[in-house]
Structure 1
Amino acid sequence: MTQQGVRWTADQVLALAPDAPSRKAGSKLGVAGPWSEAGSTGEGAVWGLCKGSGSKPYQTIVDIADVAGPAYKCSCPSRKFPCKHALGLLLVWAGSDGTVPDGGEPPAWAEEWLAARRKRADGKQSPPATPSAPADPEAARRRAEKRAERITAGTTELEQRLSDLLRGGTASAEQMGYGLWEETAARMVDAQAPGLAARVRELGAVPSSGPGWPVRLLEECALLHLLDQGWLHRDRLPDGLAATVRSRVGLPAQAEGPPVRDHWVVLAQYDTADSRLTTRRIWLYGTESGRTALLLSYGAAGRAPALALPVGLALDAEVTGYAGAGQLRVELGEQFAAPVPTARRPAGVRPEEAVARYGAALRDDPWLESWPVTLAEVIPARSRNARDAQGRQGTQGTQGTHATQGTPSTPDSWQLADPVTGSALPLAPSAASRPGLWRLIALSGGTPLTVFGECGHRGFTPLAAWPQDSGETVSLC
């Protein structure tokens, strides 16, 4: 059990899964059948033997009380953390059906791993024997200046490429193909500006993105031009905006300033991946400060990042913010206790206030894709356009033909509506294709609920929700 004597929910366990296949495989093992000699302690250790295809069962143990997040050990050959056996064990433990009893003594193989972890933790708390040599500040300054010169040369070249594109007309972009943009992105990598390289690659994909692409291409060109000019004139910008420009270009940043201790509720956790990197985003909410913060964790392509926090739990910890205007990213510092369940949630706002907050954030960061907001008392509903389209299909069909039912896969068919004011936020196309939308619709059942998500220029992406009569966080990722 956790420190509060409450076991996790199945949703909180599955939120730890590194990917969808692991979530599915772990769910199949979340029953009593494959497990034997399972148990748990009041200190947060859960263990068990899982029957596999071989003659020997897999030895699985999880330390849920680790202040750095759950830790896992399994004798299976999987390289995923947690593996399907660890997820299955936690699901059985969460079920509270007696399969994983409390108050037991760990077997020798489990105790050996736990003892080794305690020893390593004690070693980390000890001060280093010899202090590390201080870095050479003069050498660091010269490296920074040299990199800035390369980035300046890269942005100047990129400005010329954008000028050539617009001079020739946007119609020519469709004939250029992706190769030209990939070459330009490679030049930005050579200039040590990975942020510019990423935006250039996105620019190359716009001409093949469907109807309306010329408008989107102009919008992206304008944002890229704005970033170029921001870098070239960064000495004239306010400190916060200059820090944002440096971050957007791709310069590394460090957390700075005094740490903020709070009870941070884990609102949502989800991964995005490309050919180079897997990025995990974890949204936190401080119950005392009222602050929303973002943790980022990275893993190699195809590998889940190391940091994983169960959605709906709260951790007593310190975080330190990164420099930049309107910057929400933080670095997780000292944690004073293991994550525990909580009924706290952020206060919600109306849809019009959510849009206003995103607009205000754009003043500090014009390249911002979205802003975290919590909507209060909204109902998932079909949009008017979708209802009209359904009505036309019904009236145009022959006798006996039924109107096609709208599905969440239709990008503009769903919105979150305020039944009091009548205002609504359309869901982003990416959100409309996720299974989490069906869960949100079922959770609401036509009644208002509280929804946390990201509000941006593409619409609203719901990430978590709370029914009116329950404090339990329901993950929608």
Structure 2
Amino acid sequence: MNKAGVRWTTEQVLALAPDDSSRKAGNKLGTAGPWSEAGSSAAGAVWGLCKGSGSKPYRTVVDTTGPAYKCSCPSRKFPCKHALGLLLLRAADETAVGEAEAPDWAREWLDARGKRSGGEGGPAGGGAARAADPEAARRRAERRAGRITAGAVELEQRLADLLRGGLASAEQAGYGLWEETAARMVDAQAPGLAGRVRELGAIPGSGPGWPARLLEESSLLHLLNAGWLGLDGVPEPLATTVRTRIGLPSPSSGAPVRDHWLVLAQYDTSDGKVVTRRLWLHGRGSGRWALVLSFGAAGRSPQLSLPVGAVLDAEVTPHGGGGQLRADWGEQFGAPSPVDGPPPGGSTSDALAAYGSALRDDPWLESWPVTLADVIPVPVPDAGGGWQVADADGEGALPLAASVLSRPGLWKLAALSGGGPVTVFGECGHRGFHPLAAWSPEATGTVALT
């Protein structure tokens, strides 16, 4: 089978699911029973008819070189349960989805995709899009900058009042005042400031040591305000980082970087309005990290989804700013291929040093991507249910973030380890280590922990 026809594993398919309910529904459809006329092509296309509740079966087609999905079902999730089920069927039984001639309904969509990727066609109506008025854009940017400055000044006064009245008063004031301040930052078109204010409001009364945490976060917020108010004197790329943290758009810059990118992790977060998908990549040749973000409106999954544990020959375009982790997904050359091993890893001390170094470029950075080699997940003695990943040689350890302790990924990691050393990729930050993928000498492939 050629490269375009490489089948994804069950683990890789499940990692594409937008949520747990989609995984469960897709699993139920991962058998031959509900499918008819299922087939695939050497170019990476997979299709089939899935029996549903209606009189007509759902038409499902997947282009694994994207990946991209098309289904006649009404679901707003990408991929839907039918696409997941079809791919799971192919992963489990190659003969059930053998090579065949694509039906007209699948070929029509695949041909249209081929024309778009080949650069044919154009905007609706065949005309070029009108260029934006640069002078109007400049005036809009100036008006927004003025609103942000007014919001930052107001926020500085709020922080000064907090310190003047004493941190203990924050618990008595309740969350309402913080929410009001956050709303003022939204009015000032500074969503980054609004988000940090809401985080401050959740700290008082959050547990032992909350005054120290409130002081730390307030200091970082003050530093961000100071960076914006004195932006003219801030060197690049730190100035770009300040703009991004405030909430201004961060466009990609520079030349695209083509590499064989290992897809390490994919997971979604939501603020109630927007679903954000985070995709972590590592370049085999360049050795650089890349964080690709994809967004979807509330109730809708982001469209970009990549198979965890696969290697993609593709281009990404990095954004500016400290660390330059953020990147935009670009052109992909061929289909995913199986991974031949994890990225190079280090010790827990190396991970802390990498995070500390990254903080010099971005003081507001919450975490940094790291790969830990030869570590063992173990409970922390007398920590009330806490866990850590410890170097196999006993030299050091990293506590796992509290948010990880209630997730099934922790138990997957412990089961994979079985008390022995494993390689783990994750995010290392001031809240602890968040494991996202793991590899074991006794197992093949990447184990997704999200």
Deviates most, 128-137 or 155-164: 128-137
Structure with higher Rg: it is 1
Pair 5,77 (structure 1): closer, same or farther in 2 beyond 3 Å? closer
Give the counterpart of 1:450 among 418, 423, 428. 423
Give the Cα separation in 2 of the matches to 1:332 and 1:85: 25
Structure 2 SS opposite 1:316: strand
1:261-302 deviations in whole A, cap 9, x for unaligned? 111111100001012211110000000001111001111112
Correspondence 1:219-234 to 2 at 5 A: 219-234=216-231
Q: Which residue in 2 is equivalent to 1:397?
A: none
Q: Which residue in 2 is equivalent to 1:168?
A: 165
Correspondence 1:70-469 to 2 at 5 A: 70-96=67-93, 98-101=95-98, 103-122=99-118, 124=120, 131-386=128-383, 410=385, 412=386, 414-469=387-442
Q: Which residue in 2 is equivalent to 1:52?
A: 52
Question: Under a length normalisation based on structure 2, what TM-score does the superposition of the two structures give?
Answer: 0.95
Shift of 1:94: 0.5
Give the Cα separation in 1 of the matches to 2:247 and 2:184: 14
Pair 130,86 (structure 1): closer, same or farther in 2 beyond 3 Å? closer
Give the Cα separation in 1 of the matches to 2:56 and 2:242: 56
Shift of 1:23: 0.8
Contact in 2 for aligned 1:298/1:305 (Cα 8 Å): yes
Question: Under a length normalisation based on structure 1, what TM-score does the superposition of the two structures give?
Answer: 0.89
Contact in 2 for aligned 1:165/1:173 (Cα 8 Å): yes
Shift of 1:375: 0.1
Contact in 2 for aligned 1:4/1:341 (Cα 8 Å): no
1:365-418 deviations in whole A, cap 9, x for unaligned? 1111100000001111111224xx7xxxxxxxxxxxxxxxxxxxx3x2x11111
Give the Cα separation in 2 of the matches to 1:127 and 1:195: 33
Pair 51,364 (structure 1): closer, same or farther in 2 beyond 3 Å? same
**Within the alignment, does 1:6 sit opposite 2:3 as a pair?**
no
**Within the alignment, does 1:22 sit opposite 2:22 as a pair?**
yes
Give the Cα separation in 1 of the matches to 2:303 and 2:227: 34
1:313-360 deviations in whole A, cap 9, x for unaligned? 111111111111212101122222222222142100000110111111
Pair 115,259 (structure 1): closer, same or farther in 2 beyond 3 Å? closer
Give the Cα separation in 1 of the matches to 2:388 and 2:48: 44
Shift of 1:54: 3.0
Contact in 1 for aligned 2:123/2:129 (Cα 8 Å): no
Number of equivalent positions? 449
Give the Cα separation in 2 of the matches to 1:206 and 1:374: 30
Shift of 1:208: 4.2
Contact in 1 for aligned 2:5/2:43 (Cα 8 Å): no
Counterpart of 1:31, as a letter, is T
Give the Cα separation in 2 of the matches to 1:2 and 1:237: 52
Structure 1 SS opposite 2:374: strand
Shift of 1:2: 6.5
Structure 2 SS opposite 1:148: helix
Q: Which residue in 2 is equivalent to 1:39?
A: 39
Counterpart of 1:8, as a letter, is W
Give the Cα separation in 1 of the matches to 2:342 and 2:357: 23
Counterpart of 2:104, as a letter, is A
Structure 2 SS opposite 1:158: helix
Q: CA RMSD in A?
A: 2.0
Shift of 1:134: 4.0
Give the Cα separation in 2 of the matches to 1:262 and 1:156: 44
Counterpart of 1:23, as a letter, is R
Identity of aligned residues (%): 68
Contact in 2 for aligned 1:51/1:57 (Cα 8 Å): yes
Structure 2 SS opposite 1:184: helix
Give the Cα separation in 1 of the matches to 2:28 and 2:337: 26
Give the Cα separation in 2 of the matches to 1:30 and 1:194: 42
Give the Cα separation in 2 of the matches to 1:215 and 1:232: 26
Unaligned runs of 5+ in 1: 390-409
Counterpart of 2:272, as a letter, is S
Structure 1 SS opposite 2:272: coil
Contact in 2 for aligned 1:60/1:85 (Cα 8 Å): yes
Q: Which residue in 2 is equivalent to 1:400?
A: none
Q: Which residue in 2 is equivalent to 1:401?
A: none
Pair 364,187 (structure 1): closer, same or farther in 2 beyond 3 Å? same
Give the Cα separation in 2 of the matches to 1:8 and 1:166: 55
Give the Cα separation in 1 of the matches to 2:132 and 2:110: 37
Contact in 1 for aligned 2:291/2:325 (Cα 8 Å): yes
Shift of 1:49: 2.1
Counterpart of 1:195, as a letter, is G
Contact in 2 for aligned 1:378/1:419 (Cα 8 Å): yes
Give the Cα separation in 1 of the matches to 2:323 and 2:192: 18
Give the Cα separation in 2 of the matches to 1:288 and 1:135: 38
